[in-house]
């Protein structure tokens, strides 16, 4: 566990203490880590008597929607529903805390308002290549499981917490455990010694992990399980290079009534196959396929995403997109594109080892 620099902690304390209105911002289509870290930060600031709001570009996925139940009414604003109040909150703020993204472009429609804001800006993130010049204070650590783990270490280092996780609000602790759990796929990937230490301390402080797991993994709608079965039985393809891929078109997505966030984790399933080195999941969206990539050690999901899927991320877990029309025009072309590009990629990877 890397202890945050003390001078940065002093700056964080000063910046939050002197701010009268604080906006907490995260990336588009927020996942568990984005929602967990944002809700945790909000509860901490509210407990300090600060006027703080979370601005979500899009709705939180239902799987982590339970975290919002503890948030006071009106403290979370969803931009896609109410753009004017969201932009108004940013305009009023004298401090912006950016969580779980490395550049304002990851907020899309909110990018201009955030970048042009005169407020001081703090970045807390675990992704590669942070845009350091856009922030007044940066906490960036890639060798950590999640933004929630990084935020946990930061909050513990603050004088209000005195190094004891139990001094954080229980809602804050629950959100941190939830975000870390989702970003590690329940401790299946991106786990570091500090990750287990964080989990141990949060459990000791009274966080109900069983309740969290129940909400995350034992509350699926029937449609999600049926779609998962269909995709694994009918849509899963495995190339001779050990690349598994699944393509989910919009028609199938709509026919099963799938909601945002309900395909989370599907990309991990093929990695249970012994000979699969990398798994790619494509989901058709407006004018593009959204791409998720996961890999086993020895194959870089991040490099593959950067070279072929207009994206990036972590070494074994990355994302990107394929424009439609553009790079591909439909699912048939997308399948051909995956097979051709990953064949080149895997063989080049083998040559370098």
pLDDT at 353 over 70: no
Over residues 80-106, mean pLDDT: 97
Using DSSP, state whether 222 is helix, strand or coil: helix
Q: In the listed set 184, 217, 250, which residue is the last one of a domain according to the structure? A: 217
CATH number of the domain where residue 321 is located:
3.10.310.30
Together in a domain, 200 and 284:
no
CA distance 150 to 279: 27
Residues 207/36, Cβ–Cβ less than 8 Å: no
Together in a domain, 230 and 207:
no
Together in a domain, 43 and 176:
yes
Domain ranges, residue 138? 6-217
Strands 317-323 and 312-313: antiparallel
Using DSSP, state whether 279 is helix, strand or coil: strand
Q: How many domains does the chain have?
A: 2
How would you class 88 by CB atoms within 10 Å of its CB: exposed for 0-12, middle for 13-18, buried for 19 or more? Answer: middle
Q: Over the range 149-168, which residues count as b (16 or more CB within 10 Å of their CB) and which as e?
A: bbbbbbbbbbeebeeebebb
Using DSSP, state whether 285 is helix, strand or coil: strand
Residue 64 in any domain: the answer is yes
Q: In the listed set 217, 246, 278, which residue is the last one of a domain according to the structure? A: 217
Together in a domain, 306 and 193:
no
pLDDT band at 178 (very low <50, low <70, confident <90, very high): very high
CA distance 205 to 92: 36
Residue 177 in any domain: the answer is yes
Together in a domain, 108 and 237:
no
> In the prediction, which pLDDT does 350 show?
63
- For residue range 194-241, list pLDDT tens digits in order: 999 999 999 999 999 999 999 999 999 999 999 999 999 999 999 999
Q: In the listed set 191, 217, 243, which residue is the last one of a domain according to the structure? A: 217
pLDDT band at 2 (very low <50, low <70, confident <90, very high): confident
> In the prediction, which pLDDT does 349 show?
66
Give the mean pLDDT of the chain: 96
Statement: the pTM of the whole predicted model exceeds 0.95? no
Together in a domain, 29 and 133:
yes
> In the prediction, which pLDDT does 241 show?
97
The DSSP 8-state label assigned to residue 21 in this structure reads S
Together in a domain, 227 and 169:
no
Lowest mean pLDDT among 46-50, 95-99, 128-132, 337-341: 128-132
Residue 1 in any domain: the answer is no
Radius of gyration of the chain (CA): 20
Together in a domain, 62 and 135:
yes
Residues 344/241, Cβ–Cβ less than 8 Å: no
Together in a domain, 128 and 22:
yes
Over residues 8-16, mean pLDDT: 98
Residue 310 in any domain: the answer is yes
Q: Give the CA diameter of the chain.
A: 59
CATH number of the domain where residue 191 is located:
3.90.1640.10
- For residue range 40-64, list pLDDT tens digits in order: 999 999 999 999 999 999 999 999 9
Together in a domain, 251 and 137:
no
Task: Say how far residue 9 (Cα) sits from the centre of its chain.
Answer: 24
The angle formed by the CA atoms of residues 24, 26 and 29, to the nearest 5 degrees, is 140
Residues 125/148, Cβ–Cβ less than 8 Å: no
CA distance 349 to 298: 9
Instruction: Return the structure tokens found at 87.
Output: 């932009």
Together in a domain, 146 and 228:
no
């Amino acid at each position: 566990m890397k202890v945050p620099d003390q001078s940065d902690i002093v700056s964080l304390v000063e910046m939050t203490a002197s701010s009268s209105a604080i906006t907490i911002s995260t990336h588009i289509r927020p996942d568990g880590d984005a929602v967990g870290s944002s809700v945790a930060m909000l509860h901490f600031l509210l407990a300090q008597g600060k006027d703080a709001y979370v601005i979500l570009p899009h709705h939180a996925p239902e799987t982590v929607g339970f975290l919002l139940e503890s948030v006071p009414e009106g403290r979370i604003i969803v931009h896609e529903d109410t753009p004017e109040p969201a932009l108004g909150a940013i305009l009023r703020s004298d401090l912006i805390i950016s969580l779980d993204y490395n550049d304002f472009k990851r907020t899309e429609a909110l990018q201009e308002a955030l970048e042009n804001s005169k407020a001081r800006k703090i970045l807390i993130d675990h992704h590669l290549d942070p845009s350091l010049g856009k922030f007044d204070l940066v906490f960036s650590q890639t060798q950590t499981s999640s933004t929630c783990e990084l935020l946990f270490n930061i909050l513990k280092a603050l004088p209000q917490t005195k190094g004891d996780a139990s001094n954080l609000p229980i809602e804050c602790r629950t959100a941190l455990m939830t975000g870390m759990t989702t970003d590690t796929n329940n401790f299946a990937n991106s786990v570091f010694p500090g990750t287990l230490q964080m989990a141990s301390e949060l459990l000791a402080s009274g966080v109900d992990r069983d309740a969290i797991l129940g909400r995350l993994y034992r509350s699926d709608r029937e449609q999600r399980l049926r779609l998962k079965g269909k995709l694994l039985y009918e849509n899963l393809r495995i190339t001779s290079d050990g690349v598994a891929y699944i393509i989910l078109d919009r028609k199938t997505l709509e026919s099963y009534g799938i909601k945002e966030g309900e395909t989370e984790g599907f990309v991990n399933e093929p990695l249970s196959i012994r000979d699969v080195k990398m798994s790619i999941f494509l989901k058709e969206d407006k004018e593009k396929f959204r791409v998720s990539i996961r890999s086993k050690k020895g194959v870089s999901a991040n490099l593959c995403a950067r070279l072929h899927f207009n994206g990036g991320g972590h070494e074994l877990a990355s994302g990107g997109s394929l424009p439609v029309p553009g790079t591909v025009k439909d699912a048939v072309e997308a399948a051909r594109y995956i097979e051709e590009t990953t064949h080149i990629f895997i063989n080049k990877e083998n040559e370098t080892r």
